[in-house]
Amino acid sequence: MKIIISYLETESSPVSCLAAMLKNAGHLVKCIPRVKASKSLFKHSDMVISLGGDGTFLRNSRYLEDTPILGINPNPKEKEGFFTAIDLADFSPEKLQKFKILELPRLSCKINGKLQQHLAVNEIYFGKRKSWHVAEYELALGKRQEFQRSSGVIVTTGAGSTAWYHSAGGKPFSILQRNVKFVVREPYRGRINHPSLTSGSLGKLRIISKMDDGILVVDSFGGGVSLPYNSEITIQISKPLRVMSFKAARIRW
């Protein structure tokens, strides 16, 4: 197989060990630091190995369409490894014959009708660029629509439901469930505003920004996308991420 190992830059020793194992087993291996990951590079491989923690896994997933990804944790004592299927110490090339593919739902986002480049594995956040300021927007779910003021909106997959969404008051759900849920962070309720659309499931969620400095962030990466006044955001379920797993491996899901 043609295998790309995309790794955290500080993991140079583990990547050399892993690459040697795979090459000795007859695989064609290319190693790249995660900052050099790209769609064009990944699509020509049979699989991608993400060597690192969850941040490395999520970064690599941004560039994957149909190519499966395997998460390997090189340092389980320091890295949570929610998305990793196996620790490096337990891995052997022979185990690549025993994997199964799990399909993790992802989120797509359009801004003013234009599809954004990256899909979300965990969540999409909408809010004020200065997060300590109140976000103002209209939220539409189905035929219901209302004006809200809050600390922002988190839209999540099952994978992200145990993280930020859960900390904001949402209830976790299965990582494989093809469902999208949202929660409004700290909704303001006053004499005029009485929001009722503060959490729930959705097929499609629409948000119209009523701020000059709104922001949208996918999986907590980068500085986010700036949203001028009246920007319309549409979020819905999208193409799944194909994740390799092992029946005998430690599964955290």
Question: Over the stretch 85-134, which tens digit does the pLDDT of each residue have?
Answer: 899 999 999 988 888 899 999 999 999 999 999 999 999 999 999 989 99
Mean pLDDT for the chain overall: 92
Domains in the chain (CATH in brackets) are 2-97 (3.40.50.10330), 105-240 (2.60.200.30)
Is 60 exceeded by the pLDDT of residue 190?
Answer: yes
Question: Over the stretch 55-78, which tens digit does the pLDDT of each residue have?
Answer: 999 999 999 999 999 999 999 988
**Catalytic residue numbers, as ranges:** 54
Contacts 24+ apart (CB under 8 A), 14-21: 14/51, 14/74, 14/75, 14/88, 15/51, 17/88, 18/49, 18/51, 18/72, 18/88, 18/91, 21/91, 21/92, 21/93
Is 90 exceeded by the pLDDT of residue 13?
Answer: no
Q: What is the mean pLDDT of residues 46-52?
A: 96
